[in-house]
Amino acid sequence: MGRKLLTENINVPGIQSLDVYRHHGGYEGLKKALGMSPDAIVEEVKKSGLRGRGGAGFPTGMKWSFLAKPDGVPRHLVCNADESEPGTFKDRYMMEHIPHLLIEGMAIGSFALGANTSYIYIRGELLYVYHILQKAIDEAYAAGLLGKNIMGSGFDFDLHLHSGAGAYICGEETALIESLEGNRGNPRIKPPFPAIQGLWQRPTVVNNVESIMAVVPILKMGGDEYAKIGIGKSTGTKLISACGHINKPGVYEIELGLPVEEFIYSDEYCGGIRNGKALKAVVAGGSSVPVLPKELILKLANGEPRLMSYESLSDGGFVTGTMLGSGGFIVMDEDTSVVKNLYTFTRFYHHESCGQCSPCREGTGWMEKILHKILDGHGTLEDVDLLWDIQSKIEGKTICPLGEAAAWPVASAIRHFRSEFEEYVKNPSSIKKDNHYYRVNNISSEVA
Amino acid sequence: MPKVTIDGQSIEVSEGTTILQAARMIGGDIVPPAMCYYSTLKTSGGYCRTCIVKVTKGSEKDPRPMPKPVASCRTTVMDGMEVQNTTAPDLLEARKGVVEFLLLNHPLDCPVCDQAGECDLQNLSYQHGLAKSRYEFKRREFEKIDIGENIKLHMTRCILCYRCVKVADQVCDSRAHGVINRGDVAEISTYIEKSLDSDFSGNVIDVCPVGALTDRTFRFKSRVWFTNPMNAHRNCTKCSGKTVLWTSGDDVLRVSARKDVYGEVEEWICNECRFEKKEKSDWTIEGPRHIDRKSVISANHYEVKKQLKIDVSNQKAIDESAHNN
């Protein structure tokens, strides 16, 4: 049984309300933080080894220490709650069930960074969560936990909640900043990085919801203690949104370093593949990371078991590895069609490309059309090679990582499941169009 | 002063210079092509990705190479930086890919396009493009829009370089022109298709690298290479009045701003000079305009016969691949 730091009290009835939250130790972390110096908090986060939970895995303490601090210029902390990666739903779950944890984390983070005004940018589709969070913020204001002189510490702190308008691209930090400023949500060209010139050209830190929440237990238990959880440079706990053909889909908090096999098959977590089917492939960190076949997701190339950690999942680079990403764990059983699944992903990236730079704007649509052609039974073997060539020409040529996010699933699907593409090309008559758009041929829908 | 080496040629430039500007200071074939960057427009560049270069050494302090190709128009030089452009085959391959993406949805209607002959995309595809398109699907199409009396927006041809958006932002007085929608259906538009109402709105025509924004007073009048470009000026209260007249006999077919060797406007001109003064008597003609660009206009130039600076070996390869296909 792994330790639960973020989800410990999540099932307490009424934890959404301030009273219940405080009754269970809420805002103790903030109280402790306000008694410390801001630099000491940053130091504590550095010691904890916490890495960004949004996908890139950049050390949070280091990000905080990079923040420029020119005199007389306000600084900002922005929480990236624009969680829209297909397969990832951990932030929504947390904000919906325990909103005060995020508010407490925002207050601690802002105090550590010297930011008097901070923002939570929430995904537009999560309107009901917006209302839950706004209610929690109002409660916190009324209790003096936000606003002027919070908890009598002399620190003024305003927290604003801002809703996006339904664009995946606004999860990219500079696009998020543009959107928050009221502009079209196009990613900015870096440098300058947000730590130097972010929101309104002021130094800004953008952190994922889970990273900010994790600061609360780090403060309560101490950075050193937090760093003892996990394995190697992957410290602490991680929320994994498990979905797909498993018996128990949902959000799980794991200690990093848990074997992938245990995560999929143990009853404590996913509970194995549903309907007694066999595992085929896993997308381990949200739709943009490479898909891995069963042999490679359970075992490293050298035969050792693969663990749920930043290092172990990316072992072997993209040839035999993948990424922890945002923790969107999509499990596919033996009846799943990787090609149909890839078409769904590619259609998503085509739809969400902002259209600012040419490789992503044109390339994503082209890939979708070719995949559609293959699934329609008109594909040729050259089309598969062309897909590979297009993805290689998008990757690394774009302004923001959406280009890579669109290219990696295509690359990995062709790398590991090329025979499946060839089967579609060679036997187009066998492609059946049923309601299960991600299912392989000849599988009736009764298994669902 | 930082010293940067591009394709083996070194130059010292002032702090804050971009790689592209440094390359233009050196000049010649090592200058990366640029479709969206415009030195006189702030925050332009970085979108089209044709100017990507490979940085093999970051700087003297931090000699690590940059992991990905960078947009040379938006990356400032560091002391001791080493850059590869034409000497890196993998980079040229990547650029070929970018050109292919730019052409993917571009209608190849050059025979009826007013921009043909002075089109940056045409020149770019001639030098870096494939002989044959690998795209076999329907290209996207938009309705043509008149933005005002004098400007035609033909969105189908647009490559979304954002130059006109920057002009509308920075040169014109009100912001009425921008991008709507996203992805490959994003389009340049004005607020509810209103006209661009500003004395300097005509400049969006000059900055457009393709035939998406054209001069309605010149549309379908003549191919540019049949016209004689003449430097001319007049006393104008709004702008410098320094222009190029594109004439045919005694007729002034078109008035445009003067462009430098990289196709960038030297001085913005006003709409009165551009659209209303269409008589030779309105102007003091200075003499023939010397056009030193890799462009069809200079190919048929009446002024002097000159060698085009196009790499013939590349052309041979294009011919052969066209033949083999």
Q: For chain B, what percent of residues have pLDDT higher than 90?
A: 48
Note whether B114 and B187 are same-domain residues: yes
**Residues 48 through 87 of chain B touching chain A, CB cutoff 8 Å:** 48-49, 52, 67-69, 71, 74
**Whether the predicted pLDDT of A284 surpasses 80:** yes
Identify all chain B residues contacting A169, using CB atoms and an 8 Å cutoff: 182
Strand pairing class (A204-208; A76-81) = parallel
Report pLDDT for A441: 47
Identify all chain B residues contacting A364, using CB atoms and an 8 Å cutoff: 183-184
- With CB atoms and an 8 Å threshold, state whether A393 touches B101: yes
Of the partner residues A351, A361, A393, the one whose CB lies closest to the CB of residue B160: A361
Note whether B74 and B140 are same-domain residues: no
In 3-state terms, what secondary structure has residue A156? coil
CATH number at residue B67: 3.10.20.740
Note whether B136 and B205 are same-domain residues: yes
Residue B27 lies in a domain: yes
**Whether the predicted pLDDT of A387 surpasses 90:** yes
Note whether B185 and B270 are same-domain residues: no
> For the residues of A199-244, what is the DSSP string, one character each?
GGGS-EEEEEHHHHHHHHHHHHH-HHHHHHSEETTEESEEEEEEEE
- With CB atoms and an 8 Å threshold, state whether B47 touches A369: no
Note whether B127 and B185 are same-domain residues: yes
- Of B30, B63, B90, the one marking the end of a domain is B90
CATH number at residue B136: 3.30.70.20
Strand pairing class (B284-288; B228-233) = antiparallel
Note whether B58 and B144 are same-domain residues: no
Residue B83 lies in a domain: yes
In which domain, by residue range, is B157 found? 105-220
Residue B252 lies in a domain: yes
Note whether B234 and B247 are same-domain residues: yes
Residue B320 lies in a domain: no
- With CB atoms and an 8 Å threshold, state whether B186 touches A386: no
- Spatial neighbors of B54 by CB under 8 A, at least 6 apart, are B65, B66, B69, B83, B84, B85, B88, B90, B91
Note whether B177 and B126 are same-domain residues: yes
Query: Residue range A274-282: average pLDDT?
Result: 92
C-beta neighbour count of A305 within 10 angstroms:
12
> For the residues of B248-278, what is the DSSP string, one character each?
ETTEEEEEEE-B-TTS-BSS---HIIIII--
Report pLDDT for B260: 85
Note whether B231 and B201 are same-domain residues: no
A52: closest CA of chain B, how far (Å): 21
Residue B239 lies in a domain: yes
Identify all chain B residues contacting A349, using CB atoms and an 8 Å cutoff: none
Among the residue ranges A30-44, A233-247, A279-293, B174-188, the one predicted with the least confidence is B174-188
**Residues 178 through 237 of chain B touching chain A, CB cutoff 8 Å:** 178-179, 181-186
Note whether B181 and B249 are same-domain residues: no
Strand pairing class (A117-122; A76-81) = parallel
Structural domains in chain A?
18-228 (3.40.50.11540), 234-333 (3.10.20.600), 338-447 (1.20.1440.230)
Can you tell me the ipTM of this complex? 0.88
Identify all chain A residues contacting B102, using CB atoms and an 8 Å cutoff: 358, 362
User: What is the tens place of the pLDDT at every residue in B266-312?
Assistant: 999 999 999 999 999 999 999 888 776 666 666 555 444 444 455 55
User: What is the tens place of the pLDDT at every residue in B82-108?
Assistant: 999 999 999 999 999 999 999 999 998
Identify all chain B residues contacting A369, using CB atoms and an 8 Å cutoff: 137
Burial of B175 (0-12, 13-18, 19+ CB in 10 A): exposed
- Spatial neighbors of B34 by CB under 8 A, at least 6 apart, are B20, B45, B48, B50, B51, B73, B262
**Residues 251 through 310 of chain B touching chain A, CB cutoff 8 Å:** none
Report pLDDT for A180: 94
- With CB atoms and an 8 Å threshold, state whether A356 touches B48: no
Residue B316 lies in a domain: no
Size of interface A-B (CB pairs under 8 A): 87
Characterise B129 by phi-psi region: left (phi > 0), alpha (psi -120 to 50), beta (else). Answer: beta
**Whether the predicted pLDDT of B195 surpasses 70:** no
Our count of domains for chain B comes to: 3
Residue B324 lies in a domain: no
Query: Residue range B308-324: average pLDDT?
Result: 63
Note whether B201 and B120 are same-domain residues: yes
- With CB atoms and an 8 Å threshold, state whether B102 touches A362: yes
Residue B311 lies in a domain: no
Q: For chain A, what percent of residues have pLDDT higher than 70?
A: 96
